Amino acid sequence: MIIQKLIDLTMPITAQTPVYPGDPKPKIEPAATFAQDGYHVSRLVLGSHSGTHVDAPFHFCEHGWRLDDVPLTYFLGRGAVINATGKAEGEAVTMADAAPYIPKLSPGTIVLFHTGWSQYAGTKRYFSHPYVAPEVIEAMLGRGVRTFFIDALNIDPPDGSSFHAHELILGANGVIGENFVNFERIDFDDPYIIALPLSLPGCDGSPVRAVAVQWA
């Protein structure tokens, strides 16, 4: 097989990258410079949920899998894009939106909730994103899905009133990914998704470099 198309689904990490309120803001600064040291090294300060990232079950479950417990197979596989564009601020992705896709889901499928909200990254509106209703998550878990990605800051309501999706997915030792971008560029069927985390033993999450691949 050869790669016919490769789409970057990753939000760049800079000092301006939006973070969940209260999370550490990324900071990138020189630790060594060519002028002074003869080489360049940068110092990175960031939270485990900075930019495009994945949540391990330990994020919400004290006895859930930590990042290094999660099989790497959870972070790559066939993707299913759920079209949930056109939602208003704080509006739920419902079963009416998801129902046409659910019969096609199976264990190993990576669900991509396409809200279109990544277009607002860097603006105040990005923090008033749509979210996924718990019944949608329950139905997909019932189909064996354990990996859920969204192109928004959070898979749960933006006002922080509940974390039902986190509790359901992570409670089932599943994986959540947030702050993805460019889902609208996946214009082909059965994209192969790769979103591998850093090797951070014992951690609750990690930034990822995510891509969608079309094989020829």
Ordered structural domains, the chain, with CATH = 3-17+47-215 (3.50.30.50)
Q: Is the pTM of this model over 0.95?
A: yes
Identity of the residue numbered 130: P
Q: 167-184 pLDDT, tens per residue?
A: 999 999 999 999 999 999
pLDDT of residue 1: 85
Identity of the residue numbered 102: I
Return phi, psi of residue 55, to 5°.
-105, 125
| Sign, Cα dihedral of 105, 186, 7, 150 | negative
Whether residue 16 contacts residue 149, with contact meaning beta carbons closer than 8 Å, is answered with no
The mean per-residue pLDDT over the stretch 210-215 comes to 98
- Residue 72 pLDDT exceeds 90: yes
pLDDT of residue 3: 97
| Sign, Cα dihedral of 85, 87, 89, 92 | negative
The mean per-residue pLDDT over the stretch 197-211 comes to 98
Q: 101-141 pLDDT, tens per residue?
A: 999 999 999 999 999 999 999 999 999 999 999 999 999 99
Q: 3-41 pLDDT, tens per residue?
A: 999 999 999 999 999 999 999 999 999 999 999 999 999
pLDDT of residue 83: 98
For the chain, what is the mean pLDDT? Answer: 98
Q: How many CB atoms lie within 10 A of CB 127?
A: 16
Q: How many CB atoms lie within 10 A of CB 102?
A: 17
